Amino acid sequence: MFRNFFGARLPRLALHTLLLALPFAAMLAEPALAQNLDPLENMLQTVVDALTGPIGRLIAILAVVAAGYMMFTGRLNWPLFLAIFFGVVLVFSAATIIDGFAAP
């Protein structure tokens, strides 16, 4: 005789039946497929909209204006200017670039 979790005795046949039934029960169970990532997707979409929408556009305009002012005053660091330029280009063309990779 074996004891279960509660201390009650189980006959050997009941134990073997239980051990045989467990794999079949696991095979018959269907996954719930209840995982939902909508909140995460909405948050990331909000970040993308903020960076590529009107707010991102205004930040890019201010960065270009600042680079132009630095160029006008003779204090422009060319690597900084190139970083600003390529940063603006990448931010606003990122969706097009990724869509090109994801196209079938």
Q: Identify whether 58 is part of a domain.
A: yes
Residue 59 structural domain? 38-102
pLDDT at 38: 83
**pLDDT at position 5:** 62
* Residue 61 pLDDT > 90: yes
Considering the domain boundaries, does residue 12 fall inside one? Answer: no
Among 3-7, 17-21, 30-34, 63-67, the range with the most confident prediction by mean pLDDT is 63-67
| 13 within a domain of the structure (yes/no) | no
Q: Per the domain annotation, does 26 fall within a domain?
A: no
Of the given ranges (51-55, 64-68, 99-103), which has the lowest mean pLDDT? 99-103
The full 3-state SS of the chain, as one line of letters, equals CEECCCCCEECHHHHHHHHHHHHHHHHHCCCCCCCCCHHHHHHHHHHHHHHHCHHHHHHHHHHHHHHHHHHHHCCCCHHHHHHHHHHHHHHHHHHHHHHHHHCC
Please give the tally of structural domains in the chain: 1
